Amino acid sequence: MIEIKPNIPGALANQQLQRNLKHTLTGSLESRNAAVAAVPNWQDLRNHARQVKLHTLERLDLYLERLETKIEANGGKVVWAEDTAAAVAAIVEIARSRSARKVVKSKSMLTEEIHLNPALEDAGLDVVETDLGEYIVQLCGEVPSHLVTPALHKSKEEVAELFIEKLGMTPTDDIGELTQAARRVLRQHFLSADVGISGVNFAVAETGTLVVVENEGNARLSTSVPRTHIAIMGIEKVIPRVSDLAVFLKLLIRSATGQKVTSYINLISGPRRAGEVDGPEEFYLILVDNGRTKVHSDLHFRQSLACIRCGICLNVCPVFQKIGGHAYGSVYQGPIGSVLTPQFLSESVAPQHPFASSLCGACKEICPVKIEIPDLLLELRQRVQEKTTKGRPFGEKAAMIVWAWMMTSPFRYKLASWLVTRIARRFISKGKPLLNFPPLSAWQKKRDLPPIPARSLKELYRARGGRK
Amino acid sequence: MSRETILARLRSSGRSESIDLPETLPDFPAYDDPVEQFRVEIERVGGVFLDARRADSLVECLSGVLAQRGAEQFVWEGSAVFERHQIPVRYLAEQASTEHGFLTSMHADSSVSLPIEVLPAGDLDLPAVQVSVSSAVCAIAETGSIVESTAVAGSRVLPILVPHHVVLVSSSDFVQNSAEFFGQLEPGKRESAQILMTGPSRTADIEKTLIIGVHGPQSLTVIVTG
Ligand code: SF4
């Protein structure tokens, strides 16, 4: 079982993490908001993208077959993998049969999902992450803490310490120098790698083209220098037409980084062709299911497969903002992580995820493909409840009956609130004995109860001559 | 087999309602002077814009870039670039096949023509190259992006490997916005890869602080030709 609750106190008490989260998330939301404000028809773009995605999901089988046909026509090979084991086995097999020794990787959350790196290492391969954030996380032996910015939880001092220790660089906390140090080391890895593995942002069925969006140039190098390029994607990443890329890229990039466009957008249609000077000799696309068909079979939850992994719902989530990515204990974190994790792994493996939300709706408001995250979380809560407790506990049931009885008559309501405020003023204020006993003691352990005012709003209103 | 299993599951999982693909795209911005819009955008992201629409200014422009980067020579990605942009070149040695080799050009010794030396691709020490020059197939005004195709520019690797990259783009290859660009694109028809480049390589992975020049070049210069 993956738990969130036990991780929360530690995350909240970690001052460094709190500073890093506040600093980076505030900045990224500001730049996203500015980038979106500059697009007058942002809502049209969202509606367009959502429609294309939902259409594609209705005919996913057809578009995947079309994609396969086109990739093969371009000289590539397609491998289908129904689960983690099949995906890992396929990649290890390709690497082995080429006697590969070193693999360079550009960013792919799916490879985290299938735990590819340890599997490749077990097979005797040297695996190097080349996205700067991923590289930092790999050197620490950690996992990413954000969909888009994997090393979000690290400060420059922490990165400096890491590079001094692992790369033997001279002490500095200049971010430019740290970046150059990573560049030098990774450059050597690019030039000596046998296999390059990349993720995929979009796969276009009509042309067999993979789109990889990046800023650093590492994806271009990973997919072009080594002899073999293996791209890996979840089956939900396919889109029908090239022309829709204009819309998807605009939505993805402005949401993810607040840029108008990234430095590089790679469109890859197979291996090197006759007459081209370089590029990989072989190209593979691994199409991974790993729970996605299960999500697909639920007509309401299907929309969660429309996610384009922009990460902005994480940044805007008040829970994520306080606890960060690692507290979720899962590969996918934040609001969409809380929707996907229980579905991919089953509700009983991740029963706390649907509850790690205030249901404030900010994620749904900001999502570029308008996924109804709060609605899905609510439904998941219900499922978890049904699975774990066979109905509500007795105390809760009783409380609800009393509550309903009180709320359904104005007289009873008035009487109850009159009584409760009197009791509260005398016995439940700060320092008063009743707060120190269960069940109230549990509540007040992490919260302060503000003093209960001497007069209620209604009383004040009347005292000042307000009419009934 | 995973393939059949996955497809069977998808086929049996049912349809909610039928949703058609939208027929038209939402509006994308258009500009009176696309080249000017392009200049504003590329300079905003730290790229360099040079105007060589007057044919006689091109060689001068190129040697200026070379001098500024303190480099001795360019690497050209194939001779197609010369033809595309009508660059006057003078070959230093008789080499028959210039088609797929990399070409290096020494400092322009005059403003009339570029002396060219031809090196087979294999003889080139890629990591030592300082400046590469290639030709774009398209420039997108909206975002300040240039597009390279392996069918024309040649190398998939070189524009990222070098510290300084220069791209020539003809003023007739400008489009207004990304909708126009993707609307006419047929990726994979002639080439294995295309790349949209917008400014130099960058990262913000450490504390969201922008750093220029990570794995790719520290500078990107775009020269617009006539
Ligand atoms: S659910 Fe929406 S906002 Fe969240 S990562 Fe996916 S696309 Fe972005």
Summarised one tens digit per residue, pLDDT across range A386-404 is 877 666 678 888 888 999 9
Quick check: helix, strand or coil at residue A341?
A: helix
Nearest CA in chain B to A225: B157
pLDDT at residue B101 above 80?
no
Query: What is the rounded CA–CA span in Å between residue A229 and residue A197?
Result: 6
pLDDT at A316: 97
pLDDT at A66: 98
Q: Do A136 and B215 touch (CB under 8 A)?
A: no
Angle between the A175-192 and A156-167 helix axes, to the nearest 10 degrees? 40
Query: What is the rounded CA–CA span in Å between residue A156 and residue A178?
Result: 9
CB nearest to B188's CB, from A81, A155, A208: A208
Which domains, and CATH codes, for chain B? Answer: 30-225 (3.40.50)
pLDDT at B21: 95
Q: Is the CB of A95 under 6 A from ligand 1?
A: no
pLDDT at residue A174 above 80?
yes
Nearest-CA distance from A137 to chain B in Å?
11
Mean pLDDT, residues A308-321 taken together: 97
Query: What is the rounded CA–CA span in Å between residue B162 and residue A68?
Result: 34
pLDDT at residue B96 above 50?
no
Please report residues of A whose CB lies closer than 8 A to that of B219: none
pLDDT bucket at A186, cuts 50 / 70 / 90: very high
pLDDT at B109: 55
Mean pLDDT, residues A237-253 taken together: 98
Q: Do B2 and A81 touch (CB under 8 A)?
A: yes
Query: What is the rounded CA–CA span in Å between residue B157 and residue B162?
Result: 9
pLDDT bucket at A253, cuts 50 / 70 / 90: very high
Query: What is the rounded CA–CA span in Å between residue A90 and residue A79?
Result: 7
pLDDT at A458: 81
Query: What is the rounded CA–CA span in Å between residue A273 and residue A253?
Result: 30
pLDDT bucket at B122, cuts 50 / 70 / 90: low
Higher pLDDT, residue A447 or B32:
B32
Chain-wide mean pLDDT for chain A?
92
pLDDT at B186: 94
| Cα-to-centroid distance, A231 and ligand 1 (Å) | 22
| Cα-to-centroid distance, A181 and ligand 1 (Å) | 33
Q: Is the CB of A308 under 6 A from ligand 1?
A: yes
Question: What burial class does residue B123 get, using C-beta atoms within 10 Å of its C-beta: 0-12 exposed, 13-18 middle, 19+ buried?
Answer: exposed
The least confident of A151-165, B148-162, B165-179 is: B148-162
- Is the N-terminal amide bond of A354 cis, ω within 30° of 0? no
Q: Is the CB of A372 under 6 A from ligand 1?
A: no
Q: Do A273 and B191 touch (CB under 8 A)?
A: yes
pLDDT at B157: 86
Mean pLDDT, residues A100-124 taken together: 95
CB nearest to B19's CB, from A51, A156, A243: A51
Query: What is the rounded CA–CA span in Å between residue B160 and residue A278?
Result: 13
pLDDT in tens, B22-50: 999 999 999 999 999 999 999 999 999 99
Nearest CA to ligand 1 atom 2: A367
Nearest CA in chain A to B188: A269
Q: Do A297 and B13 touch (CB under 8 A)?
A: yes
Q: Which of A310, A320, A370 to mutate to test the pocket of ligand 1 (most atoms within 8 A of CB)?
A: A310
| Cα-to-centroid distance, A448 and ligand 1 (Å) | 34
Q: Do B25 and A218 touch (CB under 8 A)?
A: no
pLDDT at B114: 72
Please report residues of A whose CB lies closer than 8 A to that of B206: 132-133, 136, 151, 154, 156, 159, 175, 178-179
pLDDT at residue B97 above 60?
no
Q: Do B10 and A296 touch (CB under 8 A)?
A: yes
pLDDT bucket at A61, cuts 50 / 70 / 90: very high
Higher pLDDT, residue A169 or A55:
A55
A224 vs B: CB within 8 A = yes
What atom of ligand 1 comes closest to residue A335's alpha carbon? 4
pLDDT at B94: 56
Mean pLDDT, residues A260-273 taken together: 96
pLDDT at A93: 96
pLDDT in tens, B178-220: 999 999 999 989 899 999 999 999 988 888 888 898 888 999 9
Residue A372: C-alpha distances to residues A50, A158, A172, A328, A357 (Å): 11, 37, 45, 20, 13
Query: What is the 8-class DSSP label of residue A448?
Result: P
Q: Do B25 and A48 touch (CB under 8 A)?
A: yes
pLDDT at A259: 94
For A44, the token pair is: 């049209």
Which amino acid would we find at residue A320?
Answer: F
Q: Is the CB of A317 under 6 A from ligand 1?
A: no
